[in-house]
Amino acid sequence: MTTSQPGILEPVPALGRYLEFGLQPDADPRDVLARLQDSAIGPELVVGLGPAPLALLGATVAGLRPFPALGGAGCDVPSTQADLWLWLRGSDHGELLHQGRRLQALLAPAFRLDQMIDGFRYDRGLDLSGYEDGTENPVGEAAVAAAIARDQGAGIDGSSFVAVQQWLHDLDHFESLPQGERDFIIGRRLSDNEELDEAPDSAHVKRTAQESFDPEAFVVRRSMPWADVSGYGLIFAAFGKSLDAFEAQLRRMVGAEDGITDGLFRFSRPLSGSYFWCPPLSGGRLDLSALGL
Ligand code: HEM
């Protein structure tokens, strides 16, 4: 039976570990990906492939492309497209470490680990700014419709696309602003999460209001805070049946339509950006038939 990878639609876990890999020079990813197919994929792991390994295998997945570098007034959105992405999910740091080691060893002949970031859930699912993240996520059938591809044929149906960015916050600056100004940056009131109609057009939830796009741009966001010696912020992850909804939102955030930059850029900036295709499962294992495997 074909399904989506279960970790995509599950709630955000207590702990996450994000591993980004690049292709080794002159590597042939075929054998490694075939071995990855032998691993059962449960809710504790989500796997995404970037455009380069697919191209090496002579495969195309319609809609998968490199993350676009964008910019606008006072904001810079870099593209740091990686080749393979693992999102380890759980509640035990040790388990995540061992699972990551196992997968890193399995992938090593073709993929080198370039980036490892630990994520965690804050309270009931807050961004480190204190605002609730995920309120307007579609749920149930609407989440499936937003995040999972269908009617595109065997090998693609049940798959998903994900946009992943590491954002670096400046909370000292954010917290120096009056509470009302902070609420206007987000477009919601911190105290009760109410949406503020009177917020300016730069407010984040006005920029990204999913029904306001044509076509409507729904995504399933599964972001997690991160922190290490270099700083802290949010690992933003948005799953979609394609990458178009995310990209429309991102373009509006940088002011590509009307020159108005999202208020978020006043206290946070993205350090990275990648797109991945998350293959479907068949019998609980990755279905890589779209890649000819
Ligand atoms: C620093 C990075 C970010 C932070 C801290 C952040 C935080 C938030 C918060 C607090 C909300 C309101 C509650 C909710 O509905 O979840 C929200 C909504 C939303 N955000 Fe973000 N966000 C970030 C980046 C992004 C990016 C890069 C995108 C897409 C390009 C995005 C898309 C959305 C969408 C679609 C909504 C719901 C809008 C609606 O339909 O009401 N966010 N975000």
The whole-number pLDDT of residue 105 equals 97
Quote the ligand 1 centre to 135 CA distance (angstroms).
9
Strand spans (E) along the chain:
2-3, 15-23, 45-49, 70-72, 75-77, 84-90, 111-120, 160-169, 220-221, 224-228, 231-240, 268-270, 274-278, 281-282, 285-286
Residue from 122, 189, 205 to probe ligand 1 pocket by mutation (most atoms less than 8 Å from CB): 205
The whole-number pLDDT of residue 112 equals 98
**188, β-bridge pairs:** 195
pTM over 0.85: yes
Quote the ligand 1 centre to 209 CA distance (angstroms).
9
The whole-number pLDDT of residue 2 equals 85
Short-list 223, 241, 167, CA closest to 11: 223
Quote the ligand 1 centre to 246 CA distance (angstroms).
11
Instruction: Residue 84: count other Cβ atoms within 10 Å of its Cβ.
Output: 28
From the CA of 250, give the closest atom in ligand 1: 30
Quote the ligand 1 centre to 205 CA distance (angstroms).
6
- Residues with CB under 6 Å of ligand 1 are 127, 129, 131-136, 165, 167, 186, 188, 204-205, 208-210, 219, 234, 236, 238, 246, 249-250, 253, 264, 268
Quote the ligand 1 centre to 208 CA distance (angstroms).
7
- Evaluate whether 125 touches 13 at the Cβ level (below 8 Å): no
pLDDT per residue as tens, the chain (293 positions): 889 999 999 999 999 999 999 999 999 999 999 999 999 999 999 999 999 999 999 999 999 999 999 999 999 999 999 999 999 999 999 999 999 999 999 999 999 999 999 999 999 999 999 999 999 999 999 999 999 999 999 999 999 999 999 999 999 999 999 999 999 999 999 999 999 999 999 999 999 999 999 999 999 999 999 999 999 999 999 999 999 999 999 999 999 999 999 999 999 999 999 999 999 999 999 999 999 99
The whole-number pLDDT of residue 101 equals 98
How far apart CA 278 and CA 85 sit, in angstroms, is 9
Residue from 135, 168, 221, 226 to probe ligand 1 pocket by mutation (most atoms less than 8 Å from CB): 221
Indicate which residue's Cα is closest to atom 31 of ligand 1. 208
The whole-number pLDDT of residue 100 equals 98
The whole-number pLDDT of residue 227 equals 98
Quote the ligand 1 centre to 40 CA distance (angstroms).
32
The whole-number pLDDT of residue 1 equals 80
Residues in the chain: 293
**Sign of CA pseudo-dihedral 82, 85, 87, 93:** negative
Short-list 34, 51, 18, 30, CA closest to 110: 30
From the CA of 193, give the closest atom in ligand 1: 13
Indicate which residue's Cα is closest to atom 32 of ligand 1. 208
Q: What are phi and psi of 252, to 5 degrees?
A: -70, -35
